Structure 1
Amino acid sequence: MLIINDLSLRMAGRLLLDHASLTLPAGTKAGLVGRNGTGKTTLF
């Protein structure tokens, strides 16, 4: 299980994540899609 609550991230003055929340039950498969530099890798 993965639970993320109210995650915010700012890098180099740029807001990448703003109060992100996510809950994935055990065994769930999910993908994360977005433009380069938008915080996908940082989220995980």
Structure 2
Amino acid sequence: MLIINDLSLRMAGRLLLDHASLTLPAGTKAGLVGRNGTGKTTLFKAITGDFPSETGLG
């Protein structure tokens, strides 16, 4: 299970996520799409602990 609670991410002064929350049950398959530079890779780095978040994370 993946739980993200009240996550805020900022990179180079740019707000990427502002108090986002998400719950994905075990076994769920999900995709993440978006334009270049919108924070997709940064989100995955925050989930794995390779990028510090301002607030939250499950």
User: Which range, TM-score by smaller chain?
Assistant: 0.7 to 0.9
The two structures, once aligned, show a CA RMSD in angstroms of 2.3
Per chain length, whose mean CA-contact separation is higher, i.e. which structure has more relative contact order (CA < 8 Å, sep 6+)?
Answer: 2
TM-score normalised by L of structure 2: 0.68
Paired residues, what number? Answer: 44
User: TM-score scaled to structure 1, two decimals?
Assistant: 0.86
List runs of 5+ in structure 1 lacking aligned partners. Answer: none
Query: How far apart, CA to CA, are the structure 1 residues paired with 2:35 and 2:20?
Result: 17
Between the aligned residues of both structures, percent identity stands at 98
